[in-house]
Amino acid sequence: MAAPGETSTDPAAVPALAVVLVTHDTRDEVLGALEALAADPERPGDLEVVVVDAGSRDGTVAAVRGRADGTRVLALANTGFGRGANAGVRATSARLVLVANADVRVRPGALHRLAACLAAEDDVAAVGPQVRYPSGALQASARRDLDVATVLGHAVLGRLWPENPWTRRYHARDLPSDVPRDVAWLSGCALLLRREAFASVGGFDPGYFLYVEDMDLGDRLRAAGWRLRYEPAAVVEHRVGASTSRARLRALWHHAVSLDRYLARRLQGAGRLLRPLLPVALAAWVVVTVLVERGGAGRSTTGERFEVPGRSGSR
């Protein structure tokens, strides 16, 4: 079986760009995402589009197939975002592949600008756009390395003291949002990947069912000698939480489990002494988050949801 991203297609016939949208019970969202792609005047004429449907029960598969616009549907069981994205990339042949959530709207020209960034530098494995909420507020999507203290400090104090140093570091607020730069990891809500690089590290780790797989991918790509870039001239809108808002507690729990997996693998030296505290702290964070959100404090005045540790927003 081919590794994630590998293709045997004749190079002369390979399209320049592909888009893989991963969806679960978000029919209207994925249809909106497809409309946004179709409306982009700068999209490549041979753009491949694949919708990976992870066990939806809301008519997503029939609705997408009914568009008759060349979009292909890969209907799978709900085995997690990483597995679905890997399957979607394998189903395409383009050298560059945008993996995105169904609740992302790619603004005109964004695909072209992201592709130009990868074309300009051969050692860049992935490039991420500037991500904004529907309100227009900036969503942190281009990040630096995280450590246990930063993650837990943000989780504990992020609501009560938004300007605390751990939350500022977590959100990379001290870095300019309008300047291109190298980053440690990029939000998986919209990520243009170089197929060669993605395949070389085996794609997303399927051990992460939901969340944190983008952080892990960034680590492995950089360890293999690749760079990751942030390109703010390309802009997408991320509506956040389309598939998880209906099962928020379960989503938060998946996030905590993934974050525990990620951090536990990276604890070094004295940091290993914190290992027994991680599951307890993350479980407490899940409970507190749900209670606060049920009390009406789950979103800010501009509409964005409090960002949970390990990813720049919920799916």
* HEC profile of 143-189: ECCCCHHHHHHHHHHCCCCCCCHHHHHHHCCCCCCCCCEECCEECCC
| 314, HSE (Cβ side, Cα atoms, 13 Å) | 23
250 has a pLDDT exceeding 80: no
Alpha helices in 54-108 (DSSP H): 60-65, 81-90
CA atoms within 13 A on the CB side of 110: 28
| First CA to last CA distance, the chain | 29
Closest CA to 61 of 70, 72, 69, 45: 72
pLDDT of residue 154 exceeding 70, the answer is yes
**What pLDDT, in 10s, does the model give residues 71-82?**
999 999 998 999
Contact of 129 with 100, CB cutoff 8 Å: no
CA 182 to chain centre: 17
Q: What is the pLDDT of residues 102-129, one digit of tens each?
A: 999 999 999 999 999 999 999 999 999 9
Question: Distance between CA 66 and CA 186 in Å, rounded?
Answer: 33
Predicted confidence (pLDDT) per residue in 270-312, tens digit: 666 666 666 666 666 666 666 666 665 544 434 444 454 444 3
Domains of the chain, start order: 11-145+175-238 (3.90.550.10)
Give the number of other Cβ atoms within 10 Å of residue 303's Cβ.
13
Between helix 277-292 and helix 148-157 the angle, nearest 10°, is: 30
Tokens of 152: 């837990």
Closest residue by Cα to residue 201 from 305, 55, 86:
86
Describe the chain by its helix, strand, coil percentages, rounded to 5. 40, 20, 40
Average predicted confidence (pLDDT) for the chain: 84
